[in-house]
Chains A and B, each alone.
Chain A
């Protein structure tokens, strides 16, 4: 096997991104869709950190990864609040059966 370089990390991130998309598209439960979104964000993060190491960008890529983690935290909090509201209204969180936000 060849020595581990930039391409290896990019391939891993591409695979994680695809898994994330698959999860977002196929899962019925809203919380599972959120997990898919987390996978996608992590795949993007791996790209940022990999280019920060192998490119000539200093630490800017790592700082961008840090900001993405912060945004993911905010996104998870808001999304779960919305999911809780959906559960209060419909008594389930199957996103294929939900067609409005209020009763």
Chain B
């Protein structure tokens, strides 16, 4: 068991434990902060997979953007009278049974399949190659995503705007 494995199990434990807490704790704000640890753990897993650029984007967009957005959503949609902002739950027993069956099935399939995986190559910086791919092979998708983000921003502002009285 080398250092790589130990770091992998560390990040995996952080990700799974906090991911479990995200969907089980009652307090929404605590949930959002556990989501922070989950996203950090996933960024660490990306680093272990040699995806340095994706890991940084994960930290910038998810931790810096989406999580803050979600926290704003929590703050703006609750009557904050004290620190506790609870969420109700429903359908717990059927959900546990269904998700448990799904998880067991998919995990047993994953572990029993013989994956034809190449031996992992040496980890190299990927940013330059990703940049080249984005302006050559994927330039159309890249531009379309830019337009999509613009539409999403305008749409979100329009939907959330208060009506002029």
What residues make up the interface of A, taking CB atoms closer than 8 Å to B?
Answer: 1, 3-12, 14-23, 25-32, 34-36, 38-39, 42, 45-46, 49-50, 52-56, 59-60, 62-63, 65-67, 69-78, 80-88, 92-94, 96
Contacts and interface: CB of A to CB of B under 8 A. Distances in A.
Given A19-B20, A38-B62, A77-B156, A54 B5 contact: no
Given A65-B51, A66-B57, A70-B145, A32 B107 contact: no
B115 A74 contact: no
Contact of A77 (B5, B69, B98): B69
Contacts of B73: 31, 34, 80, 83-84
B76 A9 contact: no
Contacts of A28: 87-90
Q: How large is the interface on B (under 10, 10 to 19, 20 to 34, 35 or more residues)?
A: 35 or more
A50 B130 contact: no
A81 B58 contact: no
B62 to A, nearest CB: 7
Contact of A49 (B5, B46, B118, B120): B46
A88 B159 CA distance: 11
A65 to B, nearest CB: 5
B130 A62 contact: yes
Interface in B106-155: 106-107, 110-111, 115, 117-118, 120-121, 126, 129-130, 133-134, 138, 141, 145, 148-149, 152-153, 155
Interface of B: 1, 4-5, 8-9, 12, 15-16, 19-20, 22-23, 28, 31-32, 35, 38-39, 42, 45-46, 49-51, 53-54, 57-58, 61-62, 65-66, 69-70, 72-74, 76-77, 87-92, 95-96, 98-100, 102-103, 106-107, 110-111, 115, 117-118, 120-121, 126, 129-130, 133-134, 138, 141, 145, 148-149, 152-153, 155-157, 159-160, 162
Given A69-B58, A77-B156, A16 B66 contact: no
